[in-house]
Amino acid sequence: MVLTRRRKLAYTIILFAVAVGLVLVASAVQEAGPLFAVWIPLLTVPWLLSRPEAGDPPRVAAEPTRQTAESSPQEDQGGAFPD
C-alpha cells in the first residue's frame, strides 16, 4: 500500500483522535476498560508512517560486500586480546 504524505498525515490525525476519544469515553463512564484499547491506534501510527510513499524508489535488497585481505578487519590493531 503506497500512501502520499497528505494521506499519512490525515490517517495519523484520525488515529490520534480515536485514541483521545477512547480516553474521553473512559473518563465519561468512569471505567478503565477503554484505556486498554488506546494502545491499538497509537501503535498503528509508527506502522503507518513507515509505509512507502508515492514516488519512493522500490526497495532492493543490498548485496553483502566482500572484504579483501588488504581491508580485512583482522589486522592487528593493538587490541587487548592477541590472536
Q: Look at the pTM and tell me if it is higher than 0.85.
A: no
- Total of domains in the chain: 1
Residue 14 in any domain: the answer is: yes
**Structural domain contains residue 74:** no
In a domain, 76, yes or no: no
- What's the whole-number mean pLDDT along residues 77-83? 61
pLDDT band for position 19 (50/70/90)?
Answer: very high
- Comparing CA positions, the residue from 19, 23, 15, 20 lying closest to residue 48 is 15
Domain-embedded: residue 33: yes
Residue 12 structural domain: 5-49
Name residues whose C-beta falls within 8 Å of residue 41's C-beta, 6 or more positions apart in sequence.
15, 16, 18, 19, 22
| pLDDT confidence of residue 57 | 73
Question: What pLDDT digit, counting tens, does each position of 43-67 carry?
Answer: 999 999 998 887 777 777 777 777 6
Q: Is 69 among the domain residues? A: no
Q: How far is CA 40 from the centre of its chain?
A: 14
Q: Which residue has the higher pLDDT, 23 or 58?
A: 23
